[in-house]
Amino acid sequence: MNSQSGEPPTMETATTRRGFMEWFSWALLGLGSVAMAIPILGFFLGPILKPRADEWVDFGPLTDFPQNSTRLVDVLNPLRGANDGMTGKVAAYVRRIEGETFQIFSTHCTHLGCPVSWFKESGLYMCPCHGGVYYEDGGHASGPPPRGLYEFEHRVEKDRLMVKLGHLPTLQDPGSAHVSGKNS
Ligand code: FES
């Protein structure tokens, strides 16, 4: 009848147990798959379901930016997550032409997104990855980038420079940034 009575299990009992174990294994596999799928779906669907607009960020007083100069500024990304740490920072080049006329550039190359560097001596931005070069005004000078640098919206408020940013600009989704320069 069964193992408790000291007799070997019958064919029917063994089949029932095997069926239960199979069912239980499939149930565990299903639960594990659902548990793994939830964060992955959240990663891909989160930005679509809960889009957040770029925000105005205070870059500091105008006196921090001498006329006819370009300098790198890094600030906390307003769209950062609670656990982002250092990756929650975003950098931008601030070019003060004169008075309240500025250009604010993303540091990301419009080719594949590598960080570009500003070279004051040559008045050029250069990308270390594939040799992309941009003029001082952000326009494309040479190399594989298809466009000029991304340029962020900005305004002057109570003698402070405010810049609108948050999303990483890409050609498909530049967010509030636009592509800059004569040769864009
Ligand atoms: S990523 Fe800058 S040239 Fe390719």
140 Cβ closer than 6 Å to some ligand 1 atom: no
Spacing, Cα 116 to ligand 1 middle (Å): 8
Q: What confidence tier does 181 reach under pLDDT thresholds 50, 70, 90?
A: low
Report the C-alpha gap between 93 and 167 in whole angstroms: 16
Residues 169, 108: contact at Cβ < 8 Å?
Answer: yes
Task: Judge whether 149 and 105 are in contact, CB under 8 Å.
Answer: yes
Tens of pLDDT, residues 15-36: 788 888 888 889 999 888 888 8
Q: Ligand 1 within 6 A of 88 CB?
A: no
Structure tokens at 133: 């070069």
| Amino acid at the residue 139 | G
Beta bridge partners of 73: 92
pTM over 0.85: no
Residue 9 confidence (pLDDT): 67
What gap in Å lies between CA 85 and CA 184, rounded to an integer? 34
Other CB atoms within a 10 A radius of the CB of residue 120 amount to 10
- Alpha-carbon separation of residue 125 from 72, 134, 142, 150, 173 (angstroms): 12, 5, 11, 12, 22
- Is pLDDT of 48 > 70? no
pLDDT digits (tens, 9 = 90+) for 129-159: 999 999 999 999 999 999 999 999 999 999 9
Q: Is the CB of 143 under 6 A from ligand 1?
A: yes
Q: What is the pLDDT of residues 77-94, one digit of tens each?
A: 888 888 888 888 899 999
